[in-house]
Every structure is written in structure tokens, then in C-alpha cells.
Amino acid sequence: MSSIDTLFDRLRKSGRKAFMPFVTAGDPDLEFTAEVIRLLVDRGSTMCELGIPYSDPIADGPVIQASYTRSLGRKIKLAEILETIGRLTPRLGAPLVTMVSYAIVYRHGLERYVADAKAAGVAGAIVPDLPVEESGPLAEICRREDFSLIQLITPTTPRDRAVRIAERTTGFIYYVSVTGITGERDDLPQEIVDNVGWLREQTPLPICIGFGISRPKHVRMLAPVADGLIVGSAIVRRVSEAAAKGRETVLAEIGDYVAELLAAMG
């Protein structure tokens, strides 16, 4: 079992749900990225998602796109990100996964990316722009190396295709709550509950919901039907305020925000 499999097995037995915040690697710098991740885990996050900056993100809204642009502007390289992760993960106490474009994985080399990420302590990869029809080679490597390949299913994914995606996925399914891009929203569509209910009948994999989750009411709505919840833009936006407010202030605000969402999970 991978560390992600072990985590969800433990959570299921204890009746708990995963809470997975997203942060962008290198915004404003890698040292602060590591500080934020340590804080998130210390405040109760069960897994963390680290975005690898990419110039042409597929479904990211303006907040995350801007964070990628800032990080890329500082010429941060994949090797530097993995080096930082490698120093962080041995004492983290929670799995860490990367959100990474397939273009980056392909350019680095499929075998090499998985090997280098594993060596840094990464538990898996979310690859949002990898079509299921082309996922075979990477999926085979990930299964062989016990490295989770997490893939996305959206509200507009045809149901037969959703089943194929689930068959190629390991670790957990990332269910996209809304059609469109990432970003904080006031309300989420009620049909998420029914869609996730149908998907749960098709696969034994844990299902984590992301996109738009930013408020305690979202957590209370979705926690009963999900195995985990993913929160990104609301945290990335707070990180972006570090220069104006000061890093300690921002860390305190993020900690309080996460505590509020975790309290809503019950």
C-alpha cells in the first residue's frame, strides 16, 4: 500500500475525512512554501498538495495562475522544488502530492519524474492535463513504483469515461465540484452530492472534492459524501498577501482559517 492508501484506510477506520490544502511551490519563495506546509499539517491537515508552477495551467483560476506567474518569474526550477520537498517530508507526518502538468513530467522523463519525486518523499501526482487515453505508460510506472496517479473527474465527464478514468487512478479520485476554473465561490451546486454518490458506486477508491471550496458551509455540505476535501485558492490568496502583511501575520491567518474549516468537518 502507498502512504496515501494507508492514510485513507486509517481515516476510514476512525470515521474521519481527509483535509488537503493546496499551495504553490515557490510563491513567494521555497522557504515560505515549506513554512506554510508545516503549519498546515501542524494545524490538522491530513495531506498537502503542492502545485508545480507551469506557464499554461489547464483549469486554474486567476489566483493560482498569478501565483504560478510569480514563482516562474523567480526562475524556480523543478530540481529546487524537489530538493525543498526532500528536506521537508521526513518530518512532515502527512503525505504530500504534486499537482503537475504532464508536459513537465514528460520533459523530465516519466520514469525519472516518478523516481525523483519518490526520492524526495512525494506520495503521488495529480496530472490534470493527462487524457485517460494517453495515461497508460505513466499509470503502469506509478503502479509498479507504488506512487499514486491521481486523476480528475468533472461534472461534464461522460459516465463511461469516468469509469475508465477511475480504473487508471490510484490513491484517490479528484472530483471537480464545478464546471470551470478554480477559485473561491459563494455557493456550490447541489448536484455534486448526487454525482459523487453515483461515482462511489463505480469505484472503491476514495473520492476527494476540490474547486471552489472555501467556506465552512461548503465543508458541511460536502464532508458527508466525500472522503476528503481540497482547498486551494483561498489559501493561495492568503499566501500572496505575505509581502504586504508580513509572513507571521499571514501564517497566523492561514492557521485560523484552516482551523475554521476543520471545525466544520465535525
Give the number of other Cβ atoms within 10 Å of residue 82's Cβ: 20
| Domain enclosing residue 226, as ranges | 3-265
**Mean pLDDT computed over every residue of the chain:** 92
Q: How confident is the model at residue 57 (pLDDT cuts 50, 70, 90)?
A: low
Task: Report the pLDDT value the prediction gives residue 60, as an integer from 0 to 100.
Answer: 63
CA 22, CA 20: separation in Å to the nearest integer?
7
User: Does the pLDDT value for residue 183 go beyond 50?
Assistant: no
Task: Report the pLDDT value the prediction gives residue 219, as an integer from 0 to 100.
Answer: 93
Task: Report the pLDDT value the prediction gives residue 69, as an integer from 0 to 100.
Answer: 93
Torsion of CA 211, 13, 96, 241, to 10 degrees: 50
Stretch among 171-180, 227-236, 245-254, 255-264 having the lowest mean pLDDT:
171-180
* Residue 180 one-letter amino acid: G
* Apex 106 CA angle, 103 and 111, nearest 5: 150
Task: Report the pLDDT value the prediction gives residue 185, as an integer from 0 to 100.
Answer: 55
Task: Report the pLDDT value the prediction gives residue 62, as an integer from 0 to 100.
Answer: 82
Percentage of residues of the chain with pLDDT beyond 70? 94
- Cell representation of residue 96: 504530500
CATH of the domain at 89: 3.20.20.70
Q: Are 49 and 22 in contact (CB under 8 A)?
A: yes
Number of structural domains found in the chain? 1
Q: Are 179 and 157 in contact (CB under 8 A)?
A: no
Pairwise pLDDT comparison (92 vs 179), residue with the higher score: 92
Q: How confident is the model at residue 170 (pLDDT cuts 50, 70, 90)?
A: very high
User: Does the pLDDT value for residue 186 go beyond 60?
Assistant: no
Task: Report the pLDDT value the prediction gives residue 212, as an integer from 0 to 100.
Answer: 81
* Residue 81 one-letter amino acid: I
User: Does the pLDDT value for residue 181 go beyond 60?
Assistant: no
Torsion of CA 138, 143, 148, 151, to 10 degrees: 50
User: Does the pLDDT value for residue 165 go beyond 80?
Assistant: yes
Residues carrying an active site annotation: 49, 60
- Exposed, middle or buried: residue 173 (CB in 10 Å: 0-12, 13-18, 19+)? buried
Mean pLDDT of the 18-24 span: 97
pLDDT single digits (tens) 80-136: 999 999 999 999 999 999 999 999 999 999 999 999 999 999 999 999 999 999 999
